[in-house]
Amino acid sequence: MDRYAVIGNPIGHSKSPLIHRLFAEQTGEQLTYEALLAPLDDFAGCLRAFLREGHGVNVTVPFKEQAWVLVDQHSKAAHRAGAVNTIMRLEDGTLLGDNTDGKGLVRDIQANAGVSLAGLKVLLVGAGGAARGVIQPLLEAGPKQLCVVNRTVSKAEELAALFVDQGPISAAGFNWIEEPVDLIINATSASLGGEVPEISPKLIQPGHTLCYDMMYAASATPFNHWAAELGAARCMDGLGMLVEQAAEAFLLWRGVRPDTAPVLAALR
């Protein structure tokens, strides 16, 4: 069987092996998928050892930027994102790096939630790697405006400058904007620490604004709990994004896109 894996540190919590097992069962594809714990000081060695026989890997925290350096070719998405979360070993032995995070986010919002991004005012909270990885697909979906907000404004400005040729993007500080927007995406890790980004409650128009936390948990994340109390029309977490980005990786590797709905339902 063709071998695939997810590589990270830590890795024991990863849902990727279950997701890809369900994808394989659904599509009839013959493959194995495992979780690999890479040493923090030797991700490259772990990656190369697996790909001597393995056909592809997913890359998770904290190795996505290292993976970008190690592959031979970059997809358009990976080139812009500056990070790789999916690697495919080609027939000649070279490595193709892709980044499916942004595609997964956009598909979760548009296909699963039924919300078109075209013409929307979107606020992207955070200016780290998670934010950078999703900006190009968000802009390709045609929002009226995508504003990156961050506590350190210079980081938001630097990030916006990287994508200024891709669409209507701007930058601001956490407390600069108080007018309601259509969609707020939390790309910070604040929810992991039980915190909420220090953005204005006025950004949420009750009954209208959609809020999306790229983190996920068994119950509502702190960000989504905050948004719900303010009357957000809908609050979504990142589990759908996780499944959808995995489906994009599966499509790259196997040439078939699995149906994500039953897999997401099983995870829920």
- The pLDDT of residue 192 is 86
Assign residue 219 the CATH number of its domain. Answer: 3.40.50.720
Residue 262 covered by a domain: no
Q: What's the mean pLDDT when you consider all of the chain?
A: 97
In a domain, 39, yes or no: yes
In the chain, the number of structural domains is 2
* Residue-level pLDDT at 84: 96
| Statement to judge: residues 160 and 81 lie in one domain | no
> Is 50 contained in some domain?
yes
Among 69, 99, 129, identify where a domain stops: 99
- Residue 245 domain flag: no
* Known catalytic residue at 121: no
Q: Tens digit of pLDDT for each residue in 28-71?
A: 999 999 999 999 999 999 999 999 999 999 999 999 999 999 99
How far apart (Å, rounded) are the C-alpha atoms in residues 93 and 89?
6
pLDDT score, position 217: 87
Which of 99, 129, 154 delimits the end of a domain?
99
Over residues 168-188, mean pLDDT: 96
Number of residues assigned to the chain: 268
pLDDT in tens, 120-160: 999 999 999 999 999 999 999 999 999 999 999 999 999 99
Catalytic residue among 64, 76, 121, 202: 64
Tens-digit pLDDT profile for residues 75-109:
999 999 999 999 999 999 999 999 999 999 999 99
Same domain, 84 and 126: no
Q: Are residues 151 and 169 in the same domain?
A: yes
| Block residue for tokens 């993007």 | 169
Alpha-carbon span 267 to 112, nearest angstrom: 15
Residue 219 resides in a domain: yes
154 and 198 in a single domain? The answer is yes
Longest dimension (CA), the chain: 55
> Is this model's pTM higher than 0.85 or not?
yes
Band (pLDDT 50/70/90 cuts) for residue 177 is: very high
CATH at 34: 3.40.50.10860
Closest residue by Cα to residue 83 from 193, 164, 151, 162:
162
Dihedral (Cα; 232, 221, 149, 63), 10-degree rounding:
-150
Domain of 158, in residue numbers: 102-240
Binding-site residues from annotation for shikimate: 14-16, 60, 85, 101, 216, 245
Q: State the binding site for NADP(+).
A: 126-130, 150-155, 214, 238
Q: Is residue 264 part of a domain?
A: no
- Averaged pLDDT for residues 231-258: 98
Residue whose C-alpha is closest to residue 89's, from 56, 59, 64, 63: 56
**Beta strands 86-89 and 121-125: pairing type?**
unpaired
- Pair (222, 110) in one structural domain: yes
**73-74 sheet: strands from edge to edge:** 31-37, 2-8, 56-59, 86-89, 95-98, 73-74
Is 246 domain-assigned?
Answer: no
73 & 113 share domain: no
